[in-house]
Amino acid sequence: MRPGRISKVLAAAAALALALSACTGTPPAPEESSAAPTATEGGNVTVLEAAPFTSFNAASVTGQTATNTRIDAATHSGFTTVDNDLKIVKNEQFGTYEKVKDNPLTVKYTINDGVQWSDGAPVTADDLMLQWAALSGWYNDAVLDENFAVTSGTAYFHAAGDHSGLAQTERPVISDDGKSLTLTYTTAYSDWETALGSTVSIPAHIVAVRAGLADAPALSSVLQSVQQGDPSKQAPPNPTLRKVADFWNTGFDSRSMPNPSLALSNGPYLVKGITADQELVLTRNADYAWGEMPKLDTLTVKYESDTDKQIAALQAGAADVISLSTTQNSAARISALDALNDDGVQIQQGQGLGFDQVVLNFKGVLAPPELRQAFLHTVPRQEIIDEVARPLIADADANAEADAEVLNSFVFRPGQAPYKESSGSNGTKEFAADLVETEGIEQAKELLDGAKPTVRILYNQDDPERVAQYQLIAASAAKAGFTVADAGKNSKEWVAALKAGAFDVALYGWISNPTGSVQLPQIFRTGAVSNFNNFSNTVVDQLTEQLALNPDDAKQNALKMQIDKLVVEAGYGLPLFQRTTLSATGKHVAGVKYSPLDIGPWQSVAAWAYVK
């Protein structure tokens, strides 16, 4: 990511990585594996990750990768975690937070005595102040172009993620004892519980020294003195804040073991050593006492991008834990894992946060609503379930076929309470998955009335499941009279084509945010960063604004149901199916659990244990 970009780029980057937050569902509980073998204290477990570790700041634009985020989760802690039911779990051993006032929304965070960085320095409100500054975009006064590049003004912190919530706060207040930070929101914010992040990962006292300041309180003094940024009243860059932000942005990036001060931990494990692009070794944090205590002495992370080689390493005993991303799952790989059951390999599997979808472009050949409706009547969703989704579920799950089902909501998941009501009323039943051949094709022909429009279907040619989806959809659409142009074939730059709107139909997936609703506007609001298909509806725009302001769960669900219905009725597209998450473990490790979250099995890292 080139300099001059700020946090909105992350929303774009997240979208380009196809990681979105729509609202979340509660995944069905996975099948429990057979009785775990007896585990011991100590020992080492080896994990294979697809990409090397590159940064100790997983919240920055350059540092937010899957591997960095997983190491961050193992080496840092905070006020909350998210469990497998996608519920926020408070870690009151680390500290507490409380809503002290509703109007204006006011939240107080307090860190417990004894919580410390691995160099012995206490974790304080100064660390929270820096985190707020980085994640809020509060000081930025930059003007951005349509690609989110800075055209004028200053973008200080390049944080990866949406900052719309924390941007609506006043400057925080630190308590006299330095243990508490109080945030007051100028506008109510529904996702306030997770706005400040799940871990406290960047030590303010280290950033302060690297920026030429005496200590963390001195850094907080700078953050207290610089005025809030205003693009309409741009000011010359503050040189001290510029140094602080520049170090936060890239100062923690490293492929090899840096100065130990840049690798500080406040979580269950410490980074002991890094061999660039080869391995990273974690060791138990002996001082950690504000969360679940780790069981392993060490944890070795190695890198292998080839999923087939990961499976082979698991079979050979060269790896103890592997996790397959949703885009790496294939029927052949699932079969290969199933075949290893007799070798002591266990599979952890359940519904994930990712889902596949068909999305139609509102500009171009499908601009007329009747043509969008016609195309959607041809989408063979039941065939896609039978031929694409079911083979992606391992036989280890006794309820595999029951879990592979057509998804009938863009907003809710089958495990979430409102799903049944919303899917029954949002209009998806008009496109019954099992009636395409008998009724859908005929309805499409009637709407086309003899026309034979050419539609460009875009997809990732390197994803065999998307290729299979394309083939099924193209064949079905042709039966109704559509002429299909393959926009995915020989297109290595399909993401760029998606951004540019060079498609009429696109096949891609989103990964839902585990909690909250604030990202819905990023997809469905007119002109939003992840609105790739030019969808625009003034009522949906209004509803997404209300959603971000309303913290009441029942009212949020009512707003989401309205959005779900309006999106389907407009011919936005159709959801296809939820993807499963999958990890596998060898016979020398226990305690690894399924998780629907992006960090996958690392969610349970403190419980991992070595088995002799």
Residue 610 has φ and ψ, to the nearest 5°, of: -85, 140
The tokens for 272 are 């002991």
Question: For position 395, what pLDDT does the model report?
Answer: 67
Strands (DSSP E) found in 459-533: 483-486, 505-511
Report helix, strand or coil for 111: strand
Band the pLDDT of 56: cuts 50, 70, 90. Answer: very high
Selection from 185-189, 206-210, 460-464 with the highest mean pLDDT: 206-210
In angstroms, the Cα distances linking 79 to 59, 110, 154, 515, 519 are 16, 9, 31, 15, 22
Instruction: State yes or no: pLDDT of 146 exceeds 70.
Output: no
Instruction: State yes or no: pLDDT of 523 exceeds 90.
Output: yes
Q: What is the DSSP string of 445-477?
A: HHHHTT---EEEEE--TT-HHHHHHHHHHHHHH
How many other CB atoms are found less than 10 A from the CB of residue 169? 23
Work out the average pLDDT over 328-355: 83
Gyration radius of the chain over CA positions: 25
Position 12, amino acid: A
Question: For position 403, what pLDDT does the model report?
Answer: 66
Instruction: State yes or no: pLDDT of 11 exceeds 50.
Output: no
Give the chain's domains with CATH numbers: 25-264+584-610 (3.90.76.10), 352-579 (3.10.105.10)
Residue 360 has φ and ψ, to the nearest 5°, of: -105, 140
Q: Which residues contact 49 (CB under 8 A, 6 or more apart)?
A: 66, 67, 70, 301, 302, 303, 304
- Angstrom distance (rounded) from CA 353 to CA 382: 20
Question: For position 515, what pLDDT does the model report?
Answer: 79
The whole-chain average pLDDT of the chain stands at 89
Q: Which of 19-28, 49-58, 254-263, 557-566 has the lowest mean pLDDT?
A: 19-28
What confidence tens digit (pLDDT) does each residue in 410-459 have?
998 887 889 999 999 999 999 988 888 889 999 999 999 999 999 999 99
Q: Are 129 and 173 in contact (CB under 8 A)?
A: no
- Angstrom distance (rounded) from CA 111 to CA 200: 11
Give how far the C-alpha of residue 460 lies from the chain's centroid of Cα atoms, to the nearest Å: 19
Q: Which of 187-191, 444-448, 465-469 has the lowest mean pLDDT?
A: 187-191
Q: Are 375 and 366 in contact (CB under 8 A)?
A: yes
What percent of the chain has pLDDT above 70?
91
- pTM of this prediction? 0.85
Q: Which of 22-36, 161-175, 463-477 has the lowest mean pLDDT?
A: 22-36
Question: For position 396, what pLDDT does the model report?
Answer: 52
